[in-house]
Amino acid sequence: VTAIDPRPRWSKTHDGWRLEGARCTSCGHVTVEAAAWCARCYGAVESGSFGPDGAVWAATVVRIPLPGREPPYALAYVDLDDGPRLLAHVMGSAAPRAGTRVRLAGPSAAGDPQVEVLP
Ligand SMILES: [Zn+2]
């Protein structure tokens, strides 16, 4: 039995990190999860590549220790430009305000998406 790795797939281009995913050819729904068909309308999907920039939709600081995570650390939902919303770790320990521009910073050691706040 082969387990499907649910973590997003990364690529790196001249302008930075991107996440690989899929875009529905019918309704335009986008995802960074592996998809054989559209989760919204069951339409056909084509491969898509999203990033490197996006905007924070919401963020919080986590103060509960978890294995491999030293609190406090910040998590944000990020709307990638022309891409999906994803949950990401924020470099540093402060929660950016909604609307803050961020850039993908590659996967963490655990494979989770990371973003850095743009100056
Ligand atoms: Zn669709």
Instruction: Report the C-alpha gap between 4 and 77 in whole angstroms.
Output: 23
On whether the pTM is more than 0.85, the answer is yes
Give 96-113 pLDDT, tens digit per residue: 999 999 999 999 888 889
Distance between CA atoms of residues 25 and 50, nearest Å:
16
What's the 46 CA to ligand 1 centre distance in angstroms?
A: 11
- Give the model's confidence band at 2: pLDDT under 50 very low, under 70 low, under 90 confident, else very high: low
The pLDDT of residue 117: 97
Distance set, CA 14 to CA 17, 62, 105 (Å): 8, 33, 13
Rounded Cα–Cα distance for residues 37 and 44 (Å) = 5
Q: How many angstroms is it from 62 CA to the middle of ligand 1?
A: 34
pLDDT digits (tens, 9 = 90+) for 35-77: 899 999 999 999 999 999 999 999 999 999 888 778 999 999 9
Cα of 56 from ligand 1 centre, angstroms: 24
Rounded Cα gap, residues 26 and 1, in angstroms: 33
Please give the distance, rounded to the nearest whole angstrom, from the Cα atom of residue 85 to the centre of ligand 1: 16
